[in-house]
Structure 1
């Protein structure tokens, strides 16, 4: 069963300097329901850890304090 799951799982590799989008995991009180944004801004990968955690920074270079899990981001191709 594990082999069948792993065959369909998509491995995500992120490198230092990649542009990514972060998934919006919280809902605001004035959200537009199903029409709200699913992903937030464009970020730059600052550091990648072996467990799948990624440190992101804004496009202007300010570093965010929180780590983001690799399954909550996707690559951005402008």
Structure 2
């Protein structure tokens, strides 16, 4: 409990990799003064003037929305870069009509979930598939499975 305040302070004043901004600056519009700078004199504290500080504070508050918008744009760019990095290493599974697949039990919720329940169920035959990865399935007797399933919830079955 004694360390909680210092951990929270360090979290709020550390720049995030996605936005290169601190949560404190995005909330209040300016950087925080570290508490140790109050104890030991620094050039920042020596040059403090109340009237100039008030004027600069108003300017910071006027620009905080722009700062937040720039941080959101940086975060979106960061997510796109991560998505591209991830997608270059993913082998996309192409499922064709007639393939036999297993369906994830956690998605279908056909059986109650538990530690010892099987993770996959079925074997189902793919009736239709499209380029987005969605498939229509059929039971072994030929009747259709309700709902459409995405390939990430299916696994090829080799009998």
Q: Match of 2:132?
A: 51
Alpha-carbon shift at residue 49 of structure 1 (Å): 1.6
Q: Which has the higher strand share?
A: 1
Structure 1 unpaired stretches of 5+: none
Aligned-residue RMSD, C-alpha:
1.5
Q: Which has the higher helix share?
A: 2
Q: Match of 1:67?
A: 148
* TM-score of the pair, normalised by structure 2: 0.44
Larger Rg: 2
In 2: Cα distance, 1:67 partner to 1:15 partner: 14
Name the structure, 1 or 2, with higher relative contact order (CA <8 Å, separation 6+).
1
Structure 2 unpaired stretches of 5+: 1-81
**Equivalenced residues, count:** 75
